[in-house]
Chain A
């Protein structure tokens, strides 16, 4: 029998939840949500678990990841209990639960810790440039090397173990037994959702939602391909016109779209942009800076303004390092992985239930 945890509400508030306690259980949010079905009674069910602090129920739930925050529930909530924002906060909380290092939770809850980490990385990059004797080629070389090591390291030591933990909490621990065959067959869903964000299209097909989906998708592709272009096609050092133009397009797509996103968060018009947490700001601003600084670096190279390049590259490298060492493993970046894996695990559960 689950026990009420009276302290959970205070905990989830630290992750950004707003006024969810005002909920009087009318169920409008569930009724209005186009992603909620007879079997998926979110967000109401999750509001209830959060109110009572039923952590085990929440930890084993994939439902927060199935929501793409169109904000209808918050707009139509008769008590202004912000169910959409609670779902968002639960995703942050779950990210912290999955993370074996515990750093995610610390950074989500403590802005000072976040800032300190960012500053420490800035110091490290400046220190690094000092040790190279401010040598441009060496810094670019180290930067390139760092990218590859960071990707491999973060993936194998942080992201992979965390996804295994997610699997443990949501599949293994609740005792859902799935055959290897099902795992293999369902695998295609992982990639379909990762690269099409199909679930997003389940939200009410308004013009705004379609636009959000499209921009989101372009951003994902832009980001992944820029990563590939810089790391494996060595964009900053390449001579290939095709690769150069590709990189420009990708980085431009990133900073234009993130600029639009930042604008929306500043204007706070839509429900999903009303309450931005530090982690949201860092994510969207750093993504913008990544695209923008990469664009500028390549521009300076192309216009042969070599004199100015060193410090611009150091800025770019700082942004990159902060991104790769903080935002990707412990920040909002992980939602890209968890959402796709949630869809994958959900397929497993549904397959199992169907049998």
Chain B
């Protein structure tokens, strides 16, 4: 129980104090139990106030602090740092939101706003009184990694992980490594053979003693958590137990398999997929032969099983345009007199791959465009495919091509066994059945399961470079995680009161992270929380019939005291200055400004500026600048100065101060 609490109530310029009687509030709060000091401040987040707070904490020997200001999203870390710098535990700090959830929401009824703010602050004080000093949880981590899938991404990742000093278990389901790349002939850009590329990687894998490669191996069972996963691996019938700190999943993808009679597939030997076609190119030397006769005209049909507005595969697979055109260019290099006709929806040979498209055009390849609603129709005439299409580039004229061979350019789909892998490792899968990352832009290789990472095309369609890139990003993340041998985790987790616990198992049932297991203790079964897996979500606490489980920072006592504090009667006087119409903004001195304001103001050198310009100059995020400018404008520190030349942004300039 904290008994020397400091409370700071922020004016936020006028954002709060225009509606909430901050001064009266501060005086009332000073009378609360355990409150040693109560202040109202112009800007709690300003440098000067932070310094003052540290001084207060040290001089008055405060053991906990409450700041009533804006949303905790904005400044929790600011004041946790203040606490830390002043020598108290950061978790002995509570932020109370009296702006977004009070002054802004109740600007029409200032008296009520003040009453509510009073309740909120008292709730905060009670909560902080029950707060505990918490330390980050540190767990030992195994410097070993399991890489699931030995395709190009998996092997490349294994090599790098091993070089960085980690033990690596490379687990491959098939007998051969190399995955899809090994099935390819020459690859675009480098011209290297897929088989020799993967062979080169395999040689490297074998040369590194840190890597244990298991082929014909499948993941049977996964337990444990970040830093200490226990994997049961079935290696060709023998069960192997592995203990690893992290898992990198690089299981890859499946090619879309055309349905029977989809574009004539299965009706004749002369309708094949791009993968079968690539084999055909490799297997023939002087002439491209099918069914004993040379091929002269080839029709490529794009987006097969892809970009279906109604089917399950909604989007583009990225690699197939390039792959098909590359095959077409290969055919031109290797054989003579073959004409190529590409029936496409959109050509997406992005980046350097555009050169390939140009080469194909120079080779005389013909491109015909169709739309999903009017796809080409393939009829079989004497075993030969006849392609009929409405060519959108020839004013939708219906055109016939008698082809010797039709190549179906199929895209990537999630592996048929992705469900099994996802089930074992608890990686969420999307509607497309590919594995999901936490955030596609900001956390692209992490999954919601701590310590489990995804790389390559198991996450979604990728070409080889992109697959390897993402796998190596996973390597960097894993190595950073395991490097110290210890992993620090947030301390806000569930805790079990072993005396009260009767082990009914209800908490374990509701836990989505599998963090609760029974444990025998002093002759009885009790629940045990794995702090490494627990996310502190709190779902277990309310289901416990004997109140034996609670979340750190959110103790029952703490929450109940918050409610009591909020509900307590309050006598608030109608303030004479609390009439909106009469609000006069007090002048604020520069030294009281928050640090961000000073940064923003220092950007202005005469010319008005837009928010992006201020962001460029100050290095602050645009959202933060918008938020501060809002307050500064209200407070007559800056003013709008019209639109910029492109009329895309408002400009601001400082008001004379």
By a beta-carbon cutoff of 8 Å, the part of chain A in contact with chain B is: 1-4, 6, 9, 19, 21-25, 41, 45, 48-49, 51-52, 54, 79
Contacts and interface: CB of A to CB of B under 8 A. Distances in A.
Interface string B380-398: 0000000010010111011
A23 B357 CA distance: 11
A3 B362 contact: no
A93 B358 CA distance: 27
Nearest to B362: A22
Contacts of B400: 1-4
A21 B362 contact: yes
Given A4-B341, A48-B394, A52-B391, A21 B366 contact: yes
Interface of B: 296-297, 339, 341, 358, 361-362, 364-369, 388, 391, 393-395, 397-402
Given A1-B398, A22-B362, A24-B367, 13 more contacts: A1-B388, A2-B399, A3-B401, A4-B402, A6-B296, A9-B366, A21-B365, A22-B358, A23-B361, A48-B391, A48-B394, A49-B394, A54-B394
Contact of B366 (A1, A19, A51): A51
Nearest to B360: A21
Closest 8 CB pairs of A and B: A6-B339, A4-B401, A3-B400, A48-B394, A22-B361, A25-B393, A1-B398, A21-B364
A3 B393 contact: no
A21 B366 CA distance: 7
8 contacts: A6-B341, A9-B366, A21-B361, A23-B361, A45-B394, A52-B368, A52-B394, A54-B394
Contact of B361 (A4, A24, A52): A24
Contacts of A6: 296-297, 339, 341
Nearest to A81: B361
A2 B397 contact: yes
Nearest to A51: B366
Contacts of B395: 41, 45
A4 B365 CA distance: 13
A308 B297 CA distance: 63
Nearest to B298: A6
> Which of B296, B361, B401 lies at the interface centre, i.e. has the most chain A CB atoms within 10 A of its CB?
B361
Nearest to B363: A21
A48 B361 contact: no
Contacts of A79: 361
Contacts of A21: 361-362, 364-366
Contacts of A45: 394-395
Contacts of A54: 394, 397, 399
B364 A48 contact: no
A7 to B, nearest CB: 8
Contacts of A23: 361
A21 B402 CA distance: 20
Contact of B399 (A3, A9, A24, A41): A3
A79 B361 CA distance: 10
A153 to B, nearest CB: 42
Nearest to A9: B364
Contacts of A25: 367, 369, 393
A48 B394 CA distance: 6
A2 B395 CA distance: 13
Contacts of B297: 6
A79 B341 CA distance: 19
A52 B399 contact: yes
- Give the dominant DSSP class at B's interface: strand
A49 B368 CA distance: 12
Nearest to B387: A4
A4 B403 CA distance: 10
A24 B354 CA distance: 12
Nearest to B347: A24
A54 B395 CA distance: 13
Contacts of A48: 391, 393-394
Nearest to B394: A48
A2 to B, nearest CB: 6
A25 B399 CA distance: 17
Given A45-B395, A52-B366, A52-B391, A3 B402 contact: yes
A1 B365 CA distance: 22
A4 to B, nearest CB: 4
B362 A19 contact: yes
Contacts of B364: 9, 21
A79 B354 CA distance: 12
Contacts of B339: 6
Contacts of A2: 397-400
A19 B296 CA distance: 21
A38 to B, nearest CB: 13
B360 to A, nearest CB: 9
A52 B339 CA distance: 11
Contacts of B367: 24-25
Nearest to B369: A25
Nearest to B400: A3
A63 to B, nearest CB: 14
B425 to A, nearest CB: 45
Contacts of A4: 341, 366, 399-402
Contacts of B368: 52
Contacts of A22: 358, 361-362
B399 A1 contact: yes
A21 B339 CA distance: 12
A21 B367 CA distance: 9
A4 B404 CA distance: 13
B627 to A, nearest CB: 45
Nearest to B297: A6
A138 to B, nearest CB: 56
Contacts of A41: 395
B564 to A, nearest CB: 72
A3 B397 CA distance: 11
A25 B391 CA distance: 12
A187 B369 CA distance: 42
Nearest to B397: A2
Contacts of B361: 21-24, 79
A51 B361 CA distance: 11
Contacts of B393: 25, 48
B385 to A, nearest CB: 13
A52 B391 CA distance: 10
A24 B402 CA distance: 23
A54 B397 CA distance: 11
Contacts of A51: 366
A268 B17 CA distance: 80
B382 to A, nearest CB: 16
Nearest to A27: B393
Contacts of B388: 1
Contacts of A49: 394
B55 to A, nearest CB: 68
A49 B366 CA distance: 11
B293 to A, nearest CB: 16
Contacts of A19: 362
A305 B225 CA distance: 113
A137 B399 CA distance: 64
Nearest to A19: B362
A23 B393 CA distance: 11
Contacts of B402: 3-4
> Which of A23, A25, A52 lies at the interface centre, i.e. has the most chain B CB atoms within 10 A of its CB?
A52
B465 to A, nearest CB: 25
A45 to B, nearest CB: 7
A51 B364 CA distance: 9
A9 B391 CA distance: 18
B393 to A, nearest CB: 5
Nearest to A13: B364
A21 B364 CA distance: 6
A305 B41 CA distance: 118
Nearest to A79: B361
A315 B394 CA distance: 51
Contacts of A9: 364, 366
A3 B402 CA distance: 8
Contacts of B296: 6
A9 B363 CA distance: 11
Contacts of B401: 3-4
